Chain A
Amino acid sequence: MTRAHAAGRQIILGAHFPGVNNTTVWSDPASGSHIAFESFRRFAQSAERGFFDFLFLAEGLRLREQRGVIHDLDVVGRPDTLPVLSGLAAVTAHLGLAGTINATYNEPYEVARQFATLDHLSAGRAAWNVVTTSDAFTGENFRRAGYLPHDQRYSRAQEFLDVARLFWDSWPDPRIEPGRVSYTGTQFDVAGYPGVPRPPQGHPVIFQAGDSAAGRDFAARNADAVFTRHGTPEAGRAFYADVKSRAQAHGRDPENLKVLPGVTFVIGDTDEDARERAAAIRAQQVSGQTAILLLEHVWNRDLSGYDPDGPLPDIEPDLSETTVFQGRARQIDDRAAEAARLRALAREKNLTLRQTVIETQSRQTFVGSPETVAEALIDAVGTRVCDGFILVPHITPAGLEPFVERVVPLLQERGALRTEYPANATLRDLLGLPYPGEAPA
């Protein structure tokens, strides 16, 4: 029943080129460069062979630090998002190209111009994941030296996007004169003509990734897709229902806001084989040192004196605002509760410090044989956990290939994934999204 119901729903697939995180097992002999363009080309071309909808790049504008020094255990360093996507536009033909660009440390005229350019270079395949940052740590790399009060983050994002849209809309045809943009708000006071005519998609596809109420509202009002962390069925369904109803409250067709969790996967010959692989990968992802550093996010203390193979720290977390880590997007809201949860789990399962972190921090979302994984994906989309997935492989650049070779054909057999790209499709076309200015379907 579920399956028959699911057959009607197409799965949206995104491929996240993994970067600065502890998901990537850089010590694996198969792990290649995270910088060389060849890695990006290979990753993108794998995604295109698997009929994915888009490739996704994250961004962090300052190297992460912990205990006041640059974090050195994970993959560090990445090329600039928009130039990489522009290069990929030249070596792919169908794949959407989604990039994270910060609305705090940029100005709307330039970002509008850059995304319009990317959309022209790719014949309509550009997407922008709009993020904001409020920390002064990152601001130290920028002119505006950056402190943006937390409560202004989304008002800046909103005005930023509003201004960008004015620039995208104001020169509909290169054969006629452009129209003049004029905007005065609390964040921006700009006027003038765009240099790039209207992008092929009208506007690039807009992504949003924040999880707060303000973030969800921003997505409901503005975004075409939400990148969420809620990949489990229960949390996913609740999130899905929440943002879709928020979209409706803004007068939008909820089908035009796609919910896409970032997920990890391990594929084996059998479910048992996959489970064994998954456990081995988790052990590689979380070394003793990484376990200590991840636990410091909960305790907010220097835990370097603790033995990773011993018990969890007996001291209580430091609940102050000042943190021992900087430059990370994810922060834990209630450190005391999280510490209590970890302790209970460690007691119940008799786990060491490192085992506890492995158990809680890096469990893969989909683990199994190709058939098991394909069924799970179809089921999740069919039961409205999400509209699709953004896959985060643990090996760069080849980590997508097992999925493309073994799971994609099964999704196609079951009618859940396209078997060819439609001719001349933009990313909006692939995702089934309306064009700006179109009447709702």
Chain B
Amino acid sequence: MTFTLAAGLGVADDHPGAAAHDPGRLLDPGYWLGAVQLAERAGFDLVTLHDRFGPGRLPRLDTSLLASWLAARTAVIGLLPTMTTTHTEPFHVGKNLATLDHISGGRAGWLVAVSRTEEESRLVGRGHPALAVPGASTERPGAGAERSGAGDRETSGDLDGELQAEAADAIEVARRLWDSWEDDAEIRDTATGRFIDRDKVHYIDFTGRYFSVKGPSITPRPPQGQPVVVIPADSPAALRTAVDGADAVLIPAPVVSDDPAAALGEVREAQRRHHRRGAALKVFADVPVRLAGQAGQPGTPEALAEQVTDLASLGYDGVRFLLSDQDADLPLLAESIPGLLRARGLRPDAALHPGGTLRTRLGLRPAVNRYGPEADGDELTGEDSRLHRSSPGTGEQS
């Protein structure tokens, strides 16, 4: 079995951690490289890089670009920048992540976020595109045309429901763009003078409630085919978006500490209710880390390992350690946790870790191209869903 270890970096948005004393160093990529290499050497599978579209109290680099910088300096760890779907162009997001996957040799993922605040909306000045929909539906792109977007799902008309429906559409667009070039589209056929076989490059023709995108991508298919999509299930609508389009879902720390078994059951139930296509969602628990003891009651690595072991036995596929004081806690975590989990049989020796892509590390199947000859009509990840469709949400985690 694959039990995933992730480190959540940069989560200390307004936390008075050590970084607050010298905020300038958050702008130095070397600072982030140090943290990611610590996680990489300790055998973590991936890091998420926290970001928000608007300002926080601390300076913050755009994590999609920071991740590309880090990709060129790291070797095996997965890199998941935060990218919001609310005020960004799905076309840009898709090629940005495809490029991160090219630079990292197949280690890219996407931590999906929505921008809920008025503050973020004012920075762009268009208003919330999603909220503009009900009143202006006849003027939206694609109005009157046949729609293919997940945004057609019932929303309760509330902000979060609309933003999450839009996020589901943005994920769908990114996934189609990633598949819009077949792997062997570049042919360099000197006999006919053709660089590509244009029959292997596809329009995606997405028309949804919030935007339409013609395609194809300008960036050829990324090495993983489909970079890994992860969504924090921080609302029922977010969980629904995860069911519609993610590979993995993150259960928020308060929910995990309250009733982890019930949270897992909810994810499985949501997959059944909404007819999850393809492989079941991987479910990761967010686990806050306080080992150094600057703030509140510090924990011990042994207690943390116990908690993780319990989560694994409940059926969780992995944990993400949230490092709100990463300068102090990451070194302690990196030196203690891998050994403790290995001793409990949860993690193989570092030497046995599967190499290759992030999908491989997480136990996700190779992504089959939905536009290619092996496509079977499953539009989520192109996986061979015939094996799994009969019992969505179960049977995958062995």
Contacts and interface: CB of A to CB of B under 8 A. Distances in A.
A26 B195 contact: yes
A195 B60 contact: yes
Contacts of A37: 72, 102-103
Contacts of B218: 60-63, 77-78
Contact of B124 (A62, A107, A178): A107
Contact of B65 (A83, A171, A175): A83
Interface in A76-126: 76-80, 82-84, 86-91, 105-107, 109-110, 113-114, 117-118, 120-121
A140 B72 contact: no
Interface in B172-213: 181, 186, 188, 190, 193-198, 201, 210-213
A288 B192 CA distance: 10
B366 interface: no
B27 A196 contact: yes
B144 interface: no
Interface residues on A, range: 35 or more
Nearest to B29: A121
B73 interface: yes
B23 A174 contact: yes
Interface in B65-107: 65-66, 68-73, 87-92, 95-96, 98-100, 102-103
Nearest to A24: B195
B124 A117 contact: no
B73 A90 contact: yes
A72 B123 CA distance: 40
B64 A83 contact: yes
Contact of A114 (B65, B126, B214): B65
B91 A142 contact: yes
Contacts of B216: 63, 70
B29 A191 contact: no
A82 B89 contact: no
B52 to A, nearest CB: 8
Main secondary structure of the interface of A (DSSP, over half): loop
Interface string A21-40: 00000110000000111000
B114 to A, nearest CB: 15
Contacts of B72: 37, 41, 87-88, 90-91
Interface in B25-70: 26-29, 52-56, 59-62, 64-66, 68-70
A306 interface: no
B355 interface: no
A193 interface: yes
A72 B185 CA distance: 10
A273 B55 CA distance: 59
A58 to B, nearest CB: 11
Interface residues of B, number: 67
Given A77-B218, A106-B89, A87 B95 contact: no
Given A86-B69, A110-B88, A195-B55, A72 B197 contact: yes
B220 interface: yes
Contacts of B66: 86, 117, 121
A289 interface: yes
Contacts of A109: 123-124
B122 to A, nearest CB: 5
Nearest to A19: B218
A83 B59 contact: no
B309 to A, nearest CB: 37
Given A77-B186, A140-B212, A192 B64 contact: no
Interface of B: 23-24, 26-29, 52-56, 59-62, 64-66, 68-73, 87-92, 95-96, 98-100, 102-103, 119-120, 122-126, 129, 141, 181, 186, 188, 190, 193-198, 201, 210-216, 218-220
Given A27-B190, A70-B216, A75-B195, 13 more contacts: A27-B188, A77-B186, A77-B219, A79-B95, A79-B99, A79-B103, A80-B92, A83-B64, A83-B68, A87-B72, A143-B90, A174-B27, A190-B123
Interface of A: 26-27, 35-37, 41, 60-63, 69-70, 72-80, 82-84, 86-91, 105-107, 109-110, 113-114, 117-118, 120-121, 140-143, 145, 171, 174-175, 178, 188-197, 287-290
19 contacts: A37-B72, A63-B201, A78-B218, A83-B103, A86-B69, A88-B72, A89-B29, A90-B29, A90-B70, A90-B71, A120-B28, A121-B69, A140-B213, A142-B89, A145-B211, A174-B24, A175-B24, A189-B125, A195-B53
